[in-house]
Amino acid sequence: MVSFGVASSRLNAVFSEVKNKWITGLAFFRYLTLQKVINYLLLRSSFHLSQLLQKPLVWGKPTTLSIEPTTSCNLRCPECPSGLRSFTRPTGMLQEQLFERVIDQVKGHLSWLHLYFQGEPFLNPRFMEMVNYADSKGIFTSTSTNAHYLGEKQVTEVLKSGLKQLIVSMDGITQEVYEQYRVGGNLEKVQEGLKLLVSERGKAKQNFPRIVLQFLVTGQNEHQLHALKSWAKEMEVDELQLKTTQIYDFESGSDLIPSDLGYSRYIPVGQGKWALKKKPENKCWRMWQGAVATWDGKVVPCCFDKDASHVMGELKNQSLAAIWGSISYFNFRKQLLADRTQIEICRNCTE
């Protein structure tokens, strides 16, 4: 009887995950055009050919873009430079004029826009207008938030904005555990905001944004997974994602590494030392798929370059297409194909 109950709840979880992916996928396909599909296929084929030839060829333009609404953040998470206020790059807010100019340039080939890199997007006062602008140009939009700003006004705006996916970071199911990683966070506020969004979305009979609850599994919160799953089910969030945590100095271990190594990017290798679970290969689809931009328009290779140490170009005075085909990008991709361990940010990356 017990095992039947467990099997049935697993089946329900799988069913709701498939349903959510289906709804998200349908929305994504609705925004696709022939031009975007051809662009994607060109990127894919040039990615494979580049590995074969050991030479970077890029035939398309970015199909995804992450852009940072702001570097400001209300929390102080220990593995995040926004939280630690440890950036060497300037901090600030993405301006609408720059954002709209970029969107106008990329709307023909961009299939997914993630309005997030570092910081808390809802702190940018023009954030919702930006989402709305991208949506009106036929681009699928998503964002990530710590959900401290989901009051009545923001929830109404979110529902009107056209946002398709909202990822909420919540890494504990009690305040005591939650604030160990989300330092300065208020779990009750997060949960109230989520509850409000789910209920208002239901009242508005809308399917979007899809709400994804993201939980970074650490040594401090792994014992709460069971309670978390029950809570997520009760809250009717659309998807629960259990994520592994990136740790900067993992070689000597960390309290953040969970004991269940299924949720860890690292494995012990003896004598108190740790290594990446997966040996990095000299390839990276992300370098062919899309770009990441900081609030002030610096294009960087990917979201691991949090402090913008590899600037490929500046959107303030160049188009994304020109930056994408620049010599800086070429050299970065070339190094990646030759020996990725020579690039510092790529060494601790599981891509």
Q: Catalog residues that contact ligand SF4 under the rule CB under 6 A.
A: 284, 286-287, 301-302, 304, 340, 343, 345-346, 349, 351
Return the number of the residue (159 or 345) whose C-beta is nearest ligand SF4. Answer: 345
Q: Please, what is the minimum distance in Å from the beta carbon of residue 343 to ligand SF4? A: 6
Q: Please, what is the minimum distance in Å from the beta carbon of residue 224 to ligand SF4? A: 29
Q: Please, what is the minimum distance in Å from the beta carbon of residue 289 to ligand SF4? A: 10
**Cα 139 to Cα 221: distance, rounded to the nearest angstrom:** 36
Return the number of the residue (148 or 333) whose C-beta is nearest ligand SF4. Answer: 333
Neighbours of 18 (CB within 10 A): 10
Return the number of the residue (96 or 251) whose C-beta is nearest ligand SF4. Answer: 251
3-state secondary structure 248-317: CCCCCCCCCCCCCHHHCCEEEEECCEEEECCCCCCCCCHHHHEEEECCCCEEECCCCCCCCCCCCEECCC
Q: Please, what is the minimum distance in Å from the beta carbon of residue 148 to ligand SF4? A: 28
Return the number of the residue (150 or 308) whose C-beta is nearest ligand SF4. Answer: 308
- Bridge partners (DSSP) of residue 274 are 268
Return the number of the residue (113 or 287) whose C-beta is nearest ligand SF4. Answer: 287
Return the number of the residue (101 or 283) whose C-beta is nearest ligand SF4. Answer: 283
Q: Please, what is the minimum distance in Å from the beta carbon of residue 14 to ligand SF4? A: 29
Return the number of the residue (65 or 343) whose C-beta is nearest ligand SF4. Answer: 343
Q: Please, what is the minimum distance in Å from the beta carbon of residue 172 to ligand SF4? A: 27
Query: Cis omega before residue 81 (within 30°)?
Result: no
Taken in order 67, 135, 44, 242, the sign of the CA dihedral is: positive
Q: Please, what is the minimum distance in Å from the beta carbon of residue 54 to ligand SF4? A: 16
Q: Please, what is the minimum distance in Å from the beta carbon of residue 340 to ligand SF4? A: 6
DSSP H or E stretch at residue 127:
helix 127-136
Which residue has tokens 């570092």?
Answer: 118
Instruction: Print burial letters for 217-232: b (CB count within 10 Å at least 16), e (below 16).
Output: bbbbbbebbeebbebb
Which residue has tokens 């309670």?
Answer: 227
Q: Please, what is the minimum distance in Å from the beta carbon of residue 335 to ligand SF4? A: 10
**Cα 68 to Cα 292: distance, rounded to the nearest angstrom:** 8
Spell out the residues 6+ positions from residue 342 whose beta carbon is closer than 8 angstroms to its own: 335
C-beta of residue 143 within 8 angstroms of C-beta of residue 131: yes
Return the number of the residue (149 or 250) whose C-beta is nearest ligand SF4. Answer: 250
C-beta of residue 327 within 8 angstroms of C-beta of residue 318: no
C-beta of residue 161 within 8 angstroms of C-beta of residue 128: yes
C-beta of residue 214 within 8 angstroms of C-beta of residue 169: yes
Return the number of the residue (176 or 339) whose C-beta is nearest ligand SF4. Answer: 339
